[in-house]
Amino acid sequence: MKKTALLNSNISSVISKMGHTDSLAIGDCGLPIPKETERIDLALIKGIPTFMDTLRAVLMELQVEEVEIAKEAVEVSPTLYKEIEKELGNVKITLISHEELKKRLKNCKAVIRTGEQTPYANIILKSGVVF
């Protein structure tokens, strides 16, 4: 459910149509996006936009009750994982395998592709409600 204005019309449109427990993913530039899932490609060059900048922008707009992150990120990219934890605050984090995360992309309303090149910089956000 929308919380605030967002300049990217494609992201804003997807979020405005989301209901409770619908999901939206944000991924690094190498994440394979299923053909049946909408792709919102923001990637310009290496590192632009970053995963964290994109996550922060989406969190201004989307009420999130739970996220799914690849458990590999905790070990391989611990600095990024700690940044995500800090940004999410009290949002529930569920760790799943990277392979399972890729399978679950088929059920996402869309995947936002960033220019991020940090390993396992991928997340699935599950929509909450604002009431």
Q: Which residues are marked as active site?
A: 20
How far apart, in whole angstroms, are the C-alpha atoms of residue 9 and residue 14? 9
Annotated binding site for substrate: 28, 98, 120-122
Binding site: residue ranges? 28, 98, 120-122
Cβ atoms within 10 Å, residue 51? 26
Coil, strand or helix: which one is 95? strand
Question: Around 73, how many Cα atoms within 13 Å sit in the side-chain half-sphere?
Answer: 26
